[in-house]
Every structure is written in structure tokens, then in C-alpha cells.
Amino acid sequence: MLQNDLTPELSPEAEVAVLARALYREGYDDQDAGHLTYRQPDDTFLAVPLEVGWNEIRASDVIRIDIDGNKLDGRWSVPPAIGLHLEYHRAHPGTDVTVHQHPRYATVWSTAGRLPGVYDQRAATLPDSDYVIYDDFQGVLEADDAVADAVAAIGKARCALLRNHGVFVVGDNMPQAYTNALTLEWRCKIAWYCEVLGSTGQVPDYGRRSIESVIASRGGYAPGMWEWAVRRELGLIGSVLD
């Protein structure tokens, strides 16, 4: 068990703000575009608002909405096209966090309509069964039938590439959502560089199975990664001279 006494306990609103800022550092930085929702015990949802960028959001900026997208609390606006997230939550009550953005490398692979290869340990933390390419993505999901079709196509996958658009990533909790989103963009980035070099040296199947098994045994995420991101965003990583 890792010691987490270096990491302060966060409010749910602060967790949302930290996740948005941490992912912004990792390439989820398409200006103020994107959505992030976090299911609460009362079946309301915390979300990033329309007006605030992921690199600047604070806990006080986070809004609360109901399952129909109506704002319940907060000073900012509900972002448009959040219906995909809410419909996904309806279909998957055990999944608490959803992330949609247009990260740099994953968006390139979504446009190519290809799932990138696995070239290193980080990329191998999720099996291919946790990925899906949604070829019929319509660009903007606002009609009920389009949203339902997208949720059905994503199914039980953890990471979806939305064709010519971006990504949809889910997690049962905050650490898992952070790990999944980080792994997706990392896999896409490393595969891009390796294929530019003409490399064919992907992680062999037995190696992938071993890595996947270790991560699964730890709850579906790498222990310590989320806590490190929290400390980094809160400025709690001290001087090297301390």
C-alpha cells in the first residue's frame, strides 16, 4: 500500500478541477473545448463549465447538473452537447467519470480511423478490448438518436476514438479516469513517433498480457499517478533542496 499522506484530501469539485488541469498538461488542451462529468452519490453530476478553460479552472468554477443537463448549482453555463456524457452515465451506472476532448495525437489517429500500435509499457496498460473506434461519429451529438447510437457503439470500452473529432474516455473513479486518459494519449503519441521511424517493434502479446494483469490487479490504474498529479497541480512538490 502506497503512503498517501503527502496528498491532501480533495472535495469532489477540486477533483474535477485537478483532473482538467492535469489532463491539459498531457495534451487535452484544445482551448476551452471539451466536457468532463463526475457522478455524485445523489446522482447529480459535477461538470466543467462552458466559459472556463481546462488550464485555469478552479473548484469554485465547477457546476452541478442533473441527469437531464439542467444546472442545479454554479455561476457558469452548462456546455452544449453534454448529452453524450449523461446518456453514457444512464447506461453505465458504475462508471463515475467521463472525459471528452480533442488531444493532439489521439485526434490524429481518430482522423486516420486507426487504433495505434502498442510500443511501450505505458501504452500496454489497457487491452485492445478497452478501445473502440466510432466511425459513425456525426461531429456534434445533440439529437437523442445520435447520442444513443454513440453510447451503444462505445459499449464497455474505456477509450473511444471519435472519427475525425477526438476522444471519449471513462473511468469508474478519478484515478482510473486519469490513468485511462493519460494512457490513450501516450499510446497515440509514442505510436506516431515509432511509425515515423519505421519501427515495427511493438510489445509482444505475452508482455502485454503481463502488464495488463498487473494493472487490473491494482484496480485498473497505476497507484500513485493520480496523487502525483494532485500534488503537482496544487504546487505541493517541494524544492529539490528541501
pLDDT (0 to 100) of residue 141 = 63
pLDDT band at 6 (very low <50, low <70, confident <90, very high): confident
pLDDT band at 32 (very low <50, low <70, confident <90, very high): low
The domain locations on the chain are 12-233
pLDDT (0 to 100) of residue 144 = 76
pLDDT digits (tens, 9 = 90+) for 202-239: 998 888 888 888 888 888 777 888 999 999 999 887 77
Cα(29)–Cα(34) distance, rounded to whole angstroms?
Answer: 9
Cα(104)–Cα(189) distance, rounded to whole angstroms?
Answer: 8
Whether the predicted pLDDT of 1 surpasses 50: no
Q: Which of 113, 46, 106 is nearest to 76 (CA)?
A: 46
Element (H, E) at 209: helix 205-217
| Mean pLDDT of the 151-157 span | 95
CB-side neighbour CA atoms (13 Å) of 127? 12
pLDDT (0 to 100) of residue 143 = 66
pLDDT digits (tens, 9 = 90+) for 78-135: 998 899 999 999 999 999 999 999 999 999 999 999 999 999 999 999 999 999 999 9
pLDDT band at 19 (very low <50, low <70, confident <90, very high): very high
Fold of 12-233: L-fuculose-1-phosphate Aldolase (3.40.225)
Cα(110)–Cα(42) distance, rounded to whole angstroms?
Answer: 35
A 10 A CB-CB count for 225 gives: 15
Cα(80)–Cα(105) distance, rounded to whole angstroms?
Answer: 24
> Is residue 12 classed as helix, strand or coil in its secondary structure?
helix
- 208: which residues sit within 8 A by CB, 6+ positions away? 118, 124, 127
Cα(160)–Cα(225) distance, rounded to whole angstroms?
Answer: 22
Q: Which amino acid is at 175?
A: P
Q: What percentage of the chain reaches a pLDDT higher than 70?
A: 94
Average pLDDT, the chain: 91
Whether the predicted pLDDT of 27 surpasses 80: yes
pLDDT (0 to 100) of residue 4 = 57
pTM, two decimal places: 0.90
